[in-house]
Amino acid sequence: MRRLPDATPRGRAITVDLEGESIPAVEGEPVACSLIAAGENVLSRSVKYHRPRGPFCFAAACSHCLMRVDGLPNVYTCRTPAKEGMRLERQNAYPSANVDIFATIDWFFPKRFDHHEMFAGVPIAEDVMAKVARQLAGLGLLPKEPGPEALPSRTIQIRVAVVGGGAAGLEAARVFAGKGVPFMLFERDANLGGRLAHGAPEDGAPFVPEPTAFPQGSVVRRATVIGLYDDEHGRYLAVASQEPEGLRLLKVYAERFLLTVGGHPPTLPFENNDLPGVFAGRAASLLLRRHDVAPEVAALVGHGPELHALAHLLAQRGVEIAAVVDLKGPLPANAHPKACVGDGLKAHGLRGVGALSFTPQGGRKQKVSCDAIIVSVPVTPGFELARQGGAKVEFDASAGHFRVDADADGRTQAADVFVAGDVAKVGTAKDAAAMGQRAAQALLGGLS
């Protein structure tokens, strides 16, 4: 990965401290983005086998980018804005993540390492092994200093609470604003739009409105919803809101909740799929469209329309495409010239991706050099919040994942919880917007 030579300035040039070394960064962009743009691909080591880890999803849905930031352990650097002088330390390695002596565990136990059974039943050795295993497998170290004082929580009461500012949530917000219904939309990112703003372009996708297009105070950004709970006053969202003064807990009581949280970027089961340099498809498009960071040579694997749209997007920005391996097919008419239907994937490299091997359908195994492997497959619905609110979750055998059970209008088993977008049914951004509109209209029909 590198910052593209034609990149437009997107913030003030600063430096951050990575274990005593000054690294160039851009103020406000995710610190993990600045690190990989500067050639720092290894951000930590895995918990058990101490394999090198680099960022994968850029959505705080995996643990590959966790670092110690200004003394605080286990920080998602893919969502943490870079600041001048920020202190960064890699975790779970000794003496360093670049040269970790505990990586030898992976060599000594090439098949598996079950520390629960090792020396089990052997006096003294059993206790020693358990203690050693706990020391080796810990995620980070406790802070040396107490954290900042928490801001007092704030209680809010509103008619409708919307979680997620992507295609579905924004379309629902338009409906509520047009009807004059008081609502609040919470988006964890600093920008609205989700994949509309940073995903691979889609035909017919709706536009992304500015926050000022909605009633004042109805759109709250940099606000992560962490739970849906009940107490003696009713049902509320627990929201961690990043305000200028610091992090504040919001208790948001509402009559109806519309969840449009989208989904998580899954990976694919192939050998060495955890190497630094393997990225989710939407992570790659975000890095390119929002931060002008991209690989020099990329190999794309997966299936679905976003795979081929992303290949064209990367090629248009000067990225050399080594291969596009569609695991399901058939290839669309506008597929990249190096696209094929294939399988038998394997990533090659020691501390990062250096090549991809695969077998084209009806052909022989091939190996192509690349500095990034991009895994683009349909997202897995983020059903957790809906399930916490009482909605029924079921397994969709045709898609191979769990999703929220809802009717065409987004109604769930919980009378006050509605869903729309990928959390209910994975599809295009246009599909998500249409679901958001239907769910908003259905929700209004049940308001007091």
Give the length of the chain.
Answer: 448
d(C-alpha 127, C-alpha 278), whole Å:
38
Helix axes 281-291, 305-316, angle to 10 degrees: 30
pLDDT recorded at residue 142? 82
pLDDT recorded at residue 357? 98
| Phi, psi for 422 (deg, rounded to 5) | -65, -25
Cis peptide before 330 (omega within 30 of 0): yes
User: In this predicted model, what pLDDT tens digit does every residue of 144-202 receive, in sequence order?
Assistant: 888 778 899 999 999 999 999 999 999 999 999 999 999 999 999 999 999 999 999 99
pLDDT recorded at residue 96? 76
d(C-alpha 180, C-alpha 170), whole Å:
15
Detail the DSSP E strand segments found in 179-292. 183-187, 219-221, 223-231, 234-243, 246-259, 263-264, 278-280
Once rounded to an integer, what is the mean pLDDT over residues 260-264?
96
**Pairing outcome for strands 339-348 and 320-326:** parallel
User: In this predicted model, what pLDDT tens digit does every residue of 304-336 receive, in sequence order?
Assistant: 999 999 999 999 999 999 999 999 989 999 899
Domain annotation for the chain: domains and CATH numbers: 2-137 (3.10.20.440), 154-264+383-445 (3.50.50.60), 278-376 (3.50.50.60)
Once rounded to an integer, what is the mean pLDDT over residues 39-53?
88
Most confident of 49-58, 89-98, 121-130: 49-58
Helix axes 429-445, 167-179, angle to 10 degrees: 40
Once rounded to an integer, what is the mean pLDDT over residues 203-224?
94
Mean pLDDT of the chain: 92
Once rounded to an integer, what is the mean pLDDT over residues 433-448?
92
Extract the tokens encoding 64.
């590959």
Model confidence at 259: pLDDT above 80: yes
Burial-class residue 203 by CB neighbours within 10 Å (0-12, 13-18, 19+).
exposed
Alpha helices in 378-428 (DSSP H): 384-388
Please enumerate in sequence order all residues whose Cβ is within 8 A of that of 114, keeping only pairs 6 or more positions apart, or say none. none
Write out the H or E segment, with its range, that includes residue 441. Answer: helix 429-445
Model confidence at 30: pLDDT above 80: yes
pLDDT recorded at residue 113? 67
Amino acid code (one letter) for 144: K
User: In this predicted model, what pLDDT tens digit does every residue of 342-385 receive, in sequence order?
Assistant: 999 999 998 899 999 999 999 999 999 999 999 999 999 999 99
pLDDT recorded at residue 134? 67
User: In this predicted model, what pLDDT tens digit does every residue of 101-156 receive, in sequence order?
Assistant: 777 777 777 777 666 676 777 787 777 777 766 666 667 778 888 877 889 999 99
Please enumerate in sequence order all residues whose Cβ is within 8 A of that of 169, keeping only pairs 6 or more positions apart, or say none. 162, 163, 185, 187, 258, 260, 420, 421, 436
Q: Which of 108, 128, 126 is nearest to 117 (CA)?
A: 126
Percent of the chain with pLDDT over 90: 79
Q: Model confidence at 279, in pLDDT bands (50, 70, 90)?
A: very high
Q: Model confidence at 436, in pLDDT bands (50, 70, 90)?
A: very high
pLDDT recorded at residue 138? 64
Instruction: Please indicate whether residue 228 or residue 119 has the higher confidence score (pLDDT).
Output: 228
